[in-house]
Amino acid sequence: QVQLQQWGAGLLKPLETLSLTCGVYGGLFSDYYWTWIRQSPEKGLEWIGDITHGGSTSYNPSLRSRLMISVHTSRTQFSLRLSAMTAADTAVYYCARATGGVVLPASFGPWGQGTLVTVSS
């Protein structure tokens, strides 16, 4: 049974960079791709982007200029970096496994436990 566990700083000042990592335990890493999603009361659930085990990425166009997702295959981990954070980026950030079918989009599951990220001066 695959489990995802995520970690990273939860309190940032404006313009700082968010850095989160997600570890994948108990499952095949290379057979799937891996995604980040965030949830806030204002915007609801928002897809951030995803990455294959080989490092190919797909980003939400609205975040692309500030976003980097990377993969560490040997450690079965993947990471998120989102720069120039503002209060509008305050949300619970989740990592999840993405399973693609014949038709887009991939479905997401299981999910990590979530990290509350607050941006405040």
Partner 1 sequence: QSVLAQPPSMSGAPGQRVTISCTGSSSNIGSGYDVHWYQQLPGTAPKLLIYGNVNRPSGVPDRFAGSKSGTSASLAITGLQADDEADYYCQSYDNSLRGSVFGGGTKLTVL
Binding site for partner 1 (CB under 8 A): 44-47, 58, 60-61, 94, 99, 101, 103-114
CA distance 67 to 49: 9
- When the beta carbons of 13 and 103 are compared against partner 1, the nearer one is 103
- Nearest approach in angstroms of CB 53 to partner 1 is 19
- When the beta carbons of 54 and 101 are compared against partner 1, the nearer one is 101
- When the beta carbons of 13 and 69 are compared against partner 1, the nearer one is 69
- Cα dihedral 39→43→45→49 (10° resolution): -90
What is the Rg, in whole angstroms, of the alpha carbon atoms belonging to the chain?
14
- Nearest approach in angstroms of CB 28 to partner 1 is 16
- Nearest approach in angstroms of CB 98 to partner 1 is 9
CA distance 119 to 11: 6
CA distance 26 to 41: 32
